[in-house]
Amino acid sequence: MKHILHATFLLTALLLALCFAFSGPVSAGTANAPALAVALGQGLAQAQTLLDQGKAEEAYALYMRLLRQEPGDAAINAGLYRAALAAGRANQALAALERLVDLRPDDGPLRLELVRLYSRVGDSANARQELTLVRQRHPGLNPEQAETFLRDLERKNSRFQYAGRLSAGVVYDSNANAGLHSRAVNLGGLDLLLDSEAGRKEAWGEYLNAAVNGAYRVSPSSSWWLVGDAAFYGKVYNRDLPSNQTFGWGRLAVGARRVGPDSMLDLRVKAEHAVYDPYEAVTLAGPELTFAYALADWLQLVSQGGLERRDYITETGRDGLYWQAGEYLRFLWNGADKEQSYSLLLGGRLLGSGTDRQSYGYDGWEALARLNLRLTEHLELTPFGAYRQLLYHEPATRLEKVLGEENRLDRAWQTGLFVTWHWTKNLATDLGWQYLHNDSTSPLYRYEQHMVNMGLTWSF
């Protein structure tokens, strides 16, 4: 009996010792929990700083290390999603966003973001399934809106993309024939009276404008696109004019575009043909380049350049090479309402030409400011202003050259306002006013012009 009691005592003592032995580490772990939370917070702050500095890959690597420590942490998964997107890792971003949705199943905007990402990687089946869940949990999004939303996403992320517009309306021109300020001119001290056709003539007319742009992605994951565009503009005045009674212009262009996370490079070769009065036409052909770089979310740098060969039907002295190169800053910001957005374009370009006749060749520059104001869902305003100065290589006419006149210098001021009322996503009413004042050292090229247009635009 003593042996049994002794064994029972030893067993009880051993169990108590084991309990005390294992209780120590548990208490220590609880004591270290605040320290672990602090370390996790510091890691998240460091990863966010790297992401803000544009170091997406470094931020992604740090978020992955944090994820291995706390795979169920919502803040880590959210940060990993943003870093993966910024680093161009769409599949890793998708995995992180799926985990985040599992952690926050009732977050409607988060589920919509998952729909967008599914569509971006080409997984339409999961996008539709996720959108069905959004509709069930958030009745405010009706089925028709949801289908439109998904179709827009699928089109946006499709390898083949296109967009276009068709406009038609009426136009008023206060100086349809670019008539002079006055028929009485003075060339080198000689007073001349030009014929009556040299005076300004106002006119009403109709216009038609159409344009379409297309792009095809070289491969599902490629940054390169094959691009092209076609456009047409026609205008007919309802009165007899010595010139400019009709105007027609058409364009075709093909090229390639590279789209990166914060930049876009577009190079095309264009061909254009314009008929601008009953007796004159011109053909243009050459390359054009556009490069855009996002300096910040609210600021873009846009560079544009072009070189073209012009061939005229009758005024062969104007044949030659024409070029232009410009630099612009584009500022972007949003209003308090999600329907409001604003942008401001500021910049300028250099212009030049080398023509068969020196009197048509010029060098010059242009400054431009254009403001786009999307004030409401329906109302959009676009005021603009520009100043252009062209110094020609010779006086305007042979008479002026013989009389010793200085080389022709044109200074043009242009301003205007376009108002657009969007009835629907695809249908809008346009109203525009433009004013041009051209001052020249040669009285043969001094004129001013007001143009007003009103019409409908259908876009797709």
**Can you spell out the DSSP letters for 419-443?**
EEEESSSSEEEEEEEEEEEEEESSG
Structure tokens at 368: 């431009």
Does the structure show a pLDDT above 50 at 15?
no
- Rounded Cα distance between 295 and 317, Å, is 44
Name the phi and psi angles at 142, rounded to 5.
Answer: -75, 165
Listed by start position, the domains of the chain span 34-156, 160-459
pTM: 0.69
Q: What is the mean pLDDT of residues 387-395?
A: 96
DSSP single-letter state for residue 444: G
Question: What local confidence, expressed as pLDDT, does residue 90 receive?
Answer: 83
Question: What local confidence, expressed as pLDDT, does residue 242 receive?
Answer: 67
Question: What local confidence, expressed as pLDDT, does residue 19 receive?
Answer: 45
> Residue 221 burial by CB count (10 A; 0-12/13-18/19+): exposed, middle or buried?
exposed
Computed over every residue of the chain, the mean pLDDT equals 85
Q: For domain 34-156, give its CATH number from 1.25.40.10, 3.90.700.10, 3.40.50.2000, 1.20.1260.10.
A: 1.25.40.10
Does the structure show a pLDDT above 90 at 114?
no
| CB neighbour list of residue 231: distance below 8 Å, 6 or more residues apart | 209, 210, 211, 212, 249, 250, 251
Range in 163-172, 238-247, 383-392 with the lowest mean pLDDT? 238-247
Q: What is the mean pLDDT of residues 414-439?
A: 97
Question: What local confidence, expressed as pLDDT, does residue 14 receive?
Answer: 45
Question: What local confidence, expressed as pLDDT, does residue 195 receive?
Answer: 64
Does the structure show a pLDDT above 60 at 410?
yes
Does the structure show a pLDDT above 70 at 28?
no
Domain 160-459 CATH class label:
mainly beta
Question: What local confidence, expressed as pLDDT, does residue 199 receive?
Answer: 73
Question: What local confidence, expressed as pLDDT, does residue 225 receive?
Answer: 95
Tell me which amino acid residue 38 is: V
Range in 103-112, 161-170, 408-417 with the lowest mean pLDDT? 103-112
Tell me which amino acid residue 410 is: D
Produce one character per residue of 25-54: b if its CB has 16 or more CB atoms within 10 Å, e if not. eeeeeeeeeeeeeeebeebbeebbebbeee
Dihedral (C-alpha) 202, 203, 208, 209: value to the nearest 10 degrees? 0
Tell me which amino acid residue 293 is: Y
Question: What local confidence, expressed as pLDDT, does residue 96 receive?
Answer: 92
Does the structure show a pLDDT above 50 at 357?
yes
In terms of phi and psi (left: phi > 0; alpha: psi -120 to 50; beta: otherwise), the region of 185 is beta
CA-closest candidate to residue 206, choices 176, 177, 250, 171: 171
Name the phi and psi angles at 130, rounded to 5.
Answer: -65, -35
Sequence length of the chain is: 460
- Rounded Cα distance between 460 and 458, Å, is 7
* Tens of pLDDT, residues 187-233: 666 666 666 566 788 899 999 999 999 999 998 778 899 999 999 99
Question: What local confidence, expressed as pLDDT, does residue 5 receive?
Answer: 46
Q: What percent of the chain has pLDDT over 90?
A: 50
Question: What local confidence, expressed as pLDDT, does residue 125 receive?
Answer: 76
* Tens of pLDDT, residues 78-92: 999 999 988 888 889
List the beta bridge partners of residue 263.
Answer: 293
| Alpha carbon 208 to chain centroid, angstroms | 24
Question: What local confidence, expressed as pLDDT, does residue 201 receive?
Answer: 85
Tell me which of 97 and 190 has the higher pLDDT.
97
Are 34-156 and 160-459 the same fold in CATH?
no
Q: Please provide the DSSP assignment of 76-99 as one string.
A: HHHHHHHHHHHTT-HHHHHHHHHH
- Asked if residue 384 lies in contact with residue 371, where contact means CB atoms within 8 angstroms, the answer is yes
Q: What is the mean pLDDT of residues 292-303?
A: 93
Confidence band of 23 (pLDDT split at 50, 70, 90): very low
DSSP single-letter state for residue 359: G
Radius of gyration of the CA atoms of the chain, in A: 34
341-355 and 362-374: which strand pairing?
antiparallel
* Tens of pLDDT, residues 133-188: 777 776 665 555 556 666 666 666 678 889 999 999 999 999 988 888 666 666 66
